[in-house]
Chains A and B, each alone.
Chain A
Amino acid sequence: MSDIVLRVEDVWKSFGDLQVLRGISFDVAESEVKVIFGPSGSGKSTLLRCINYLDPPDKGEIYLRGKRLGDPDTDINKIRSRIGFVFQHFNLFAHLKAIDNVAIGPEKVLGLSKEEARERAMRALKHVKMDKWADHYPAQLSGGQQQRVGIARALAMETDVILFDEPTSALDPELIGEVLQTMLDIAKEGTTMVVVTHEMGFARSVADEMIFIDGGVIVERGTPHHFFTSPESERVQQFLHKLDELYGQTRDERRTIAERDQE
Chain B
Amino acid sequence: MQGPDIPRLFAVIMERGVPAALQITFFGLGLGLLAGLSLALMRVYGTAPMRTFAELYEKTLRGIPVLVLIYIFTFGVPGLFWFVDPLSRPIVGAYVALGIRSAAYQSQIFRGAILSVGEGQVLAARSLGMTNFQAQVYIVLPQAFKIALPAWSNEYAVVIKDSSFASDVGVFEILKVSLNITASDPRLWLPAMLVVTLIYFIFTYPVTRYFGKKGGGMAQVGREIVWQ
Question: Footprint of B on A, CB under 8 Å?
Answer: 52, 54, 77-85, 87, 89, 91-95, 104-105, 108-109, 137-140, 153, 157
Contacts and interface: CB of A to CB of B under 8 A. Distances in A.
Given A94-B121, A108-B138, A54 B226 contact: no
B113 to A, nearest CB: 12
Contacts of A83: 127
B68 to A, nearest CB: 40
Contacts of B123: 54, 85, 87, 91
Interface string B214-228: 000000011011110
A55 to B, nearest CB: 10
24 contacts: A54-B123, A54-B126, A77-B130, A80-B128, A81-B128, A83-B127, A85-B123, A85-B127, A87-B123, A91-B124, A92-B124, A93-B121, A93-B125, A95-B139, A104-B138, A105-B130, A108-B130, A109-B128, A138-B224, A139-B221, A139-B225, A153-B124, A157-B128, A157-B129
A26 B138 CA distance: 35
A81 B129 CA distance: 4
A77 B120 contact: no
B204 interface: no
B129 A77 contact: yes
A109 B142 contact: no
B52 interface: no
A89 B118 CA distance: 12
Contact of A94 (B134, B138, B224): B224
B143 interface: yes
Contacts of B143: 94-95
B129 to A, nearest CB: 3
Nearest to B220: A139
Contacts, number: 74
Contact of B129 (A80, A89, A139, A140): A80
Contacts of B130: 77, 105, 108-109
B146 A109 contact: no
B197 interface: no
A163 B200 CA distance: 57
Given A81-B129, A137-B226, A93 B221 contact: no
A104 B221 contact: no
Given A77-B130, A139-B226, A95 B146 contact: yes
Interface string B117-156: 1001101111111110010001100110010000000000
A228 B96 CA distance: 72
A91 B121 contact: yes
B129 A95 contact: no
Nearest to B228: A137
Given A87-B120, A91-B120, A95-B146, A140 B226 contact: yes
Contacts of A109: 128-130, 134
Nearest to A109: B129
Contacts of B142: 95
A-B interface, 3 closest residue pairs, ranked by CB to CB distance from nearest: A81-B129, A139-B224, A85-B127
Contacts of B131: 77
Given A91-B120, A95-B142, 6 more contacts: A82-B129, A87-B120, A93-B139, A95-B227, A108-B130, A138-B224
A83 B124 CA distance: 12
A87 B225 contact: no
B128 A94 contact: no
Contacts of B226: 137, 139-140
A21 B52 CA distance: 33
B129 A105 contact: yes
A108 B133 CA distance: 12
A95 B124 CA distance: 14
A95 B117 CA distance: 10
A231 B97 CA distance: 72
A85 B134 CA distance: 18
A149 to B, nearest CB: 11
Contacts of A105: 128-130
A77 B131 CA distance: 6
A220 B131 CA distance: 37
A52 to B, nearest CB: 6
Nearest to B146: A95
A5 B20 CA distance: 65
Contact of B124 (A77, A78, A82, A93): A93
